[in-house]
Structure 1
């Protein structure tokens, strides 16, 4: 826990969470309250087959009964912020030949893809009666039309057979949507289907970059539907307060600590100004998420993002960092992060001009999309994170070298659903075993809060999925990131459908988090110098060949070790800073004035309306912990990071 001046021990303990490591509390919390900048899940439409064949018997009663149970299970577990709709076909007619003309137009949007209303969704599905035909192509068009006009969108289709109403052919409809540039991914679940239906559903899913999954019976569907739908919701959604960077430094917008959202064009550079107090450390990062694209060769599938720092009067400070990612067409998210400590150095004042990159003042951070892969849009959203860490008057304990020891957990594990972007990464509740299921071409994020003195160690087990041969070969990857989006460690390998563990050498581990780690001789250890959320990213790449796609079960074994300890003492609070002081103000009491003792620092929540009571302080703490978004990015097939000064 960080300390401000000489806070008494009890007060420090009471503020431990509010002052935890690298948290962008107030500005991020305010941004997340805005509908324009809040991290969002991809709006998703469920399409349920209610044709007459769904009246076939199943262990759950009928197949329709099983589908309803699966939807209820999903609705009870889906994130409250998600947007889920329901479309159904086959409920309005019989399935006799005389019913076909009307039955092939029988598609109804029962629930629009608005913010999740579990009760309404369950009520809508409970009223479904299966009886008619199977107009899948028409249902796909109407479901896509009911989704928002822009941004990532998803469809999850559950069917027990192939389309009985062509034209339109459902696979051609899926191709048309993709050719129109609709940012839509469709996942299909075959419910006890035959080979013909499986081929058609697979074609539809693959045409949009989605996945096909088999569910042999009702219990299997109940397990599968929530997993597949959760994956559909995981599409990356950029978030932040809108900002517009400039081509040159001299009129760049001034960014205070927080998360921002801009766009960046191919080969373009944009500038942002940040006022860095004397002695403070500045954190700046940019993240671009690339769209999933089919049929991109490996030689055309690389992007590079870099950032350069400029000082007063636009002087180049020789601070340059770049990140590159291949297999961007898998939908990779690429982050470049800069930790700038020039303001911690004293100005030279020797006439050389070097003083313009030292000491407190206005600095400029300039990201560039330097290398561009084939087929990507001309402009893409870029998330920008800005943080300010004040000078430390007492940095706390010395740096330590021994990494956190990994202890293998026991038991079957706790099911979790990883987040589709850094903004919605799923928090892992300390040491333990966690299980998830990834589709080929998908990567997910988890976060692990670490206090001062704590560290983590983990490994990922990719389980067998029944796939065989070259059609099932894909690249797998895991990486761990600091709160400031700097990659700490990464490992990658090939997956062939059989068990495989990453990292291959046993486990990734951080050292106990201490401020003084930034002075370590070990480069990666320097990144483990701030408390906050550390991020674990897990990826399953697209399979090497076309064919049936099998979901991959993963098991994440995690150890959180070390003993919580005091962090650094900071010289002062910084408005909208990154260590919790953005939500706090300090007032030194005077005994003569009837206030607290002179050596006591009173810390109050500085929200609208003045001093906060203990309840509102708790709210600030909750926001500080829940709102952390300084996070890492999962890269594509191979990611290489280089730092040059």
Structure 2
């Protein structure tokens, strides 16, 4: 449906339907990226096909190019809600600037994407720090390849958390994001692409508890009921496939990563495991399967990369996590700090390329088991919009339908089109009814005038000329 040239108050649609309908139709005349609705229907998001093409990492749609500086004096600014693309070589440092107020929590993440066939060392790392004007680290985290020393996307994040009991990193002003890459001499020298995000979380209207819960259910629940269902994973955080509680099957190739996302609300706990299916042949691969859970701002929550593979089925289960609570951020344990908010939690599953060398280059069976335990609790009283730190009905629907972020956005847009279509149809029907009534009344007046003219001579002719019957819609349509 192409409506771009007919939109606006002076266009045909603008003259035929109500303003609200015009707004809805014109809003989808072009979808993100400049494509019209029919063009976008067959277009992949972010340059890659969603739903698990098995190809290269799909960077976020609308990503902005940026070049980090070597010093804070030259650091380019990151805007909240935006996604940026940069690159970093071994031993290099990239610095960016944030301008923060004195009331908002701030988060910055960096996803490093090495070439799939590049060489990495288990100690190679990506480090993200957020520093104040005096060089003090508000927080810092790094991501390493660990025992599963093969190339795959890794991510780390840093944050500025407002805390009434702290005297550091609480002032308004400039802050600096420092992204560092540490690589061994034996690692591939090629630059790693970077995907950088900056998000803000509003403060609370009223301060609440500052202690994480001491008791919570730590026993893994039974396997989800309902049997396995197929769902292909995405290639990145951007096109990660939505999952709900259940057992899900997929296929994964050696050297590739699959991304999934699960909505986890306040007060809920997420349990996740991944099984690698059996295969014929003899061989052995240590650290064959790497499974990592990330929070809504790409911070590592839990990981497992020590699963070895000898051709028999193997399972990797993430450690039990505490319920998602706002006060978790005030604890010192990483699994508490990183389950500090509701939203989409991301699961990345990567298969060691050595599996292909030992057992054949082919897709291998992958089974995910997801449990989301607990009744959703009330959200904290944010002094503003929660943004990505919430789970909406639309999020739940997207997870149930297996949609990625771009697919869910497109689906929501098309629902708007459908609603607008219904509204437009109603307006047109009412218009046609009005048109018919006007035509009938005009015809009646004409017939009356004709009858009067039989006894009035030229008066009938004058009446007929001044009141003709309309055989089309009113001119104002």
TM-score by length of 1: 0.50
Q: What is the number of equivalent residue pairs in this alignment?
A: 360
1:406 to 221, 234, 237: 221
Is 1:246 the counterpart of 2:61? The answer is no
2:131 and 2:177 in contact (8 A); partners too: yes
- In the alignment, the residues of structure 2 paired with residue 322 and residue 502 of structure 1 have an alpha-carbon distance, to the nearest angstrom, of 22
Counterpart for residue 268 of structure 1: 92
Is structure 2 residue 126 aligned with structure 1 residue 305? yes
- Aligned counterpart, 2:179: 367
2:81 paired with 1:82 = no
What is residue 278 of structure 1 aligned with on the other side? Answer: 102
- In the alignment, which residue of structure 1 is the partner of 2:441? none
Contact 1:396 1:566 in 2 (8 A): no
Kept after mapping to 1: 8 A contact 2:93/2:181: yes
Distance apart, 1:235 and its partner CA: 1.9
Q: What displacement does 1:477 show?
A: 2.0
Deviation at 1:372, TM superposition (A): 4.9
Preserved CA contact (<8 Å) 1:460 1:556: yes
- Is 1:413–1:433's contact at 8 Å kept on the other side of the alignment? yes
> In structure 2, what is the equivalent of residue 324 of structure 1?
144
Distance (whole Å) between structure 1 residues aligned to residue 150 and residue 334 of structure 2? 30
Residue pairs, 1:469-480, within 5 angstroms? 469-470=283-284, 475-480=288-293
Cα distance between partner residues in 1 of 2:342 and 2:150: 31
C-alpha spacing 1:406/1:262, structure 2 compared with 1 (3 Å)? same
The change in CA–CA distance for 1:255 and 1:474 in structure 2 (over 3 A counts) is closer
- Match of 2:260? 446
- Matched residue of 1:394: which SS? coil
Equivalent residues of 2:260, 2:348 under 8 A apart:
yes
Q: 1:328: Cα distance to partner? A: 8.5
Q: Cα offset for 1:301?
A: 6.4
1:324-363 paired onto structure 2 within 5 Å: 324-326=144-146, 330-341=150-161, 343-345=162-164, 357-363=169-175
> Conserved in 1, the CA contact under 8 Å of 2:263 and 2:343?
yes
Q: Determine if contact 2:242/2:404 at 8 Å carries over to the other structure.
A: no
Matched, 1:236 2:57: yes
Shift of 1:435: 0.5
- Partners of 1:546 and 1:559 in 2: CA distance: 33
Contact in 1 for aligned 2:130/2:178 (Cα 8 Å):
yes
Secondary structure of 1:393's counterpart equals coil
Match of 2:241 in 1: 426
User: Which sections of structure 1, spanning at least 5 residues, go unmatched?
Assistant: 1-31, 37-78, 84-114, 116-150, 154-228, 349-354, 581-616, 630-645
- Structure 2 match to 1:525: 336
Q: Aligned runs of 1:92-111 on 2, under 5 Å?
A: none
| 499 and 619 in structure 1: CA distance in 2 versus 1, 3 angstrom threshold | closer
Q: Distance in 2 between matches of 1:375 and 1:480?
A: 25
- Contact residue 105 and residue 200 of structure 2 kept, 8 A: yes
The equivalent residue for 1:498 is: 312
* Deviations 1:377-400, CA, capped at 9 Å, x for gaps: 543321111111122233567743
Unmatched runs of 5 consecutive residues or more in structure 2? 1-30, 36-40, 408-477
> How far off is 1:499 after superposition?
1.4
Give 1:449 shift.
0.8
SS, match of residue 518 in structure 1: helix
Mapped contact 2:229–2:249 kept (Cα < 8 A): yes
RMSD: 3.8
**Matches of 1:520 and 1:282 in 2, distance apart?**
18
CA distance in 2, matches of 1:627, 1:411: 25
Counterpart among 557, 563, 587 of residue 375 in structure 2: 563
Q: Does 1:290 align with 2:289?
A: no
Q: Given that residues 291 and 329 in structure 1 are in contact (C-alpha distance below 8 angstroms), is that contact kept between their aligned partners in structure 2? A: no
Between the aligned partners of 2:359 and 2:389, the Cα distance in structure 1 is 49
* Structure-1 residue corresponding to 2:135: 315
The structure whose Rg is larger is 2
Q: Deviations over 1:122-154 (max 9, x none)?
A: xxxxxxxxxxxxxxxxxxxxxxxxxxxxx999x
Distance 1:272 1:346, change over 3 A: farther
Q: 1:363 Cα shift?
A: 0.7
**Structure 2 vs 1, CA of residues 481 and 250 (structure 1 numbering), >3 Å: closer, same or farther?**
same
Look up the SS of the partner of 2:94 in the other structure: coil
User: Counterpart in 1 of 2:205?
Assistant: 393
Residues 328 and 407 of structure 1: is their aligned pair in 2 closer, same or farther, counting only changes over 3 Å?
closer
Q: CA deviation at 1:519?
A: 2.0
Report the TM-score when normalising by structure 2.
0.65
Give the drift of 1:326: 5.0
1:37-48 matches, cutoff 5 A: none
Q: CA, structure 1 residues 627+516, in 2 after alignment: closer, same or farther (shift >3 Å)?
A: same
Tell me how far apart the structure 2 counterparts of residues 360 and 622 of structure 1 sit (CA, whole Å): 38
Deviates more, 1:369-378 or 1:518-527: 369-378
Write the distance in 2 (CA, Å) between the matches of 1:454 and 1:395.
Answer: 22
> In the TM superposition, what is the alpha-carbon distance from 1:532 to its structure 2 partner?
0.5
Distance in structure 2 (CA, Å) of the matches to 1:373 and 1:236: 25
